[in-house]
């Protein structure tokens, strides 16, 4: 049964992986893989010696980390809240609507966010002014920028995960709920003792897989929202690489960075997998 899947994956995912060797070359497209010079760890050296690389790496991990956490907590919370909604129409309506932002690209959303967060005319600052507070230059200030990134990204993507969690919730055996109710559990108790545990396998799975994204702080988003005044807090690994003029000279470096990211993800995911297995005898996948 597994055969077709295995075969296809082999051809289209494993064979191209051989290209990882580019990470160790000074790759020039015209020369091809065979003709480009070998530089060993040279590309990695290059990246690690780039100005501000520490700052950039820190930004990447910090922002990605926040996104992972928020990206777990928010959809779970919303899924549970949504589960409490009895009115089918509203439930379906909300479900549909929260998935919408996913369809808009950051090119569009970037423009909208800039308008909304504008210190002089944006809605948010006008609200702050009405409440007697000073206006904040959200997109131009290093103090706020990372949080704006996280909040807007979560808003855009939470619909996706919420769907998965909702599906998990609907698969929970109703008898468990009945038993809990008979034991006198109120709604909060039910959520804690039936719903959450029922979702646990999926939560653990999504959490583990999202660990793989710890170095992917979101290129498209940052690219459309950042500017020179927030490089310090907003520049991430991918935007740094992007500015290297990928196309002409730096394929090798880009592949090297990709390899680096993959290795880090692999380590994190393996560790979680092993922990779950050893401690709870549970295989995440």
Q: Which of 241, 215, 248 is nearest to 62 (CA)?
A: 215
Residue 60 makes contact with another protein by CB under 8 A: no
Angstrom CA distances, 143 to 68, 125, 147, 225, stand at 20, 16, 8, 15
Taking the C-alpha atoms of residue 165 and residue 95, their distance in angstroms, rounded to an integer, is 12
Residues in 187-206 that interact with another protein by CB under 8 A: 187, 201-202, 205
Count other C-beta atoms under 10 Å from residue 220's C-beta: 14
Residue 62 makes contact with another protein by CB under 8 A: no
In order, the DSSP letters of 33-59 are HHHSEE-TTHHHHHHHTSTTHHHHHHH
Identify the residue whose tokens are 């927030």. 230
Taking the C-alpha atoms of residue 187 and residue 149, their distance in angstroms, rounded to an integer, is 34
Residues in 229-258 that interact with another protein by CB under 8 A: 229, 231, 238, 241-251, 254-255, 258
Residue 30 makes contact with another protein by CB under 8 A: yes
- Least spacing, CB of residue 248 vs another protein, in Å: 4
- Least spacing, CB of residue 76 vs another protein, in Å: 14
Nearer CB in complex with another protein: 66/78: 78
Number of residues engaging another protein in binding (CB under 8 A): 112
Decide: helix, strand or coil at residue 26.
Answer: strand
Residue 274 makes contact with another protein by CB under 8 A: no
Which range touches another protein (CB under 8 A), out of 37-45, 57-65, 126-134, 261-269? 261-269
Per-residue binder mask for another protein (CB under 8 A), 102-121, x = binder: xxxx-xxx-xx-xx--xxx-
Which range touches another protein (CB under 8 A), out of 21-29, 37-45, 65-73, 189-197? 21-29
Taking the C-alpha atoms of residue 226 and residue 240, their distance in angstroms, rounded to an integer, is 12
Per-residue binder mask for another protein (CB under 8 A), 127-166, x = binder: ----------x-xx--------------x---x---xx-x
Residue 48 makes contact with another protein by CB under 8 A: no
């Amino acid at each position: 049964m597994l055969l077709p899947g295995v075969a296809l994956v082999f051809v289209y995912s494993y064979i191209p992986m051989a290209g990882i060797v580019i990470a160790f070359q000074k790759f020039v497209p015209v020369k091809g893989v065979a003709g480009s010079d070998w530089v060993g760890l040279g590309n990695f050296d290059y990246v690690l010696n780039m100005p501000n690389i520490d700052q950039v790496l820190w930004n990447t991990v910090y922002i990605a980390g926040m996104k992972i956490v928020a990206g777990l907590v928010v959809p779970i919370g919303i899924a549970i809240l949504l589960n409490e909604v009895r009115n089918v129409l509203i439930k379906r309506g909300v479900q549909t609507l929260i998935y919408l932002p996913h369809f808009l690209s950051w090119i569009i959303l970037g423009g909208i966010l800039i308008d909304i967060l504008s210190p002089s005319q944006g809605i948010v600052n006008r609200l702050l002014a009405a409440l007697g507070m000073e206006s904040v230059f959200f997109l131009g200030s290093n103090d706020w920028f990372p949080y704006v990134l996280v909040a807007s990204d979560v808003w855009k993507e939470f619909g996706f995960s919420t769907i998965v969690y909702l599906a998990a919730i609907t698969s929970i055996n109703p008898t468990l709920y009945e038993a809990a109710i008979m034991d006198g559990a109120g709604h909060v108790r039910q959520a804690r003792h039936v719903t959450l545990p029922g979702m646990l396998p999926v939560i653990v799975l999504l959490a583990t897989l999202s660990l793989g994204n710890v170095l992917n702080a979101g290129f498209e988003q940052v690219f459309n929202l950042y500017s020179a005044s927030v490089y310090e807090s907003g520049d991430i690994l991918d935007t740094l690489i992007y500015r290297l003029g990928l196309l002409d000279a730096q394929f090798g470096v880009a592949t090297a960075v990709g390899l680096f990211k993959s290795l880090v993800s692999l380590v994190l995911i393996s560790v979680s997998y092993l922990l779950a297995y050893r401690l709870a005898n549970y295989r995440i996948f």
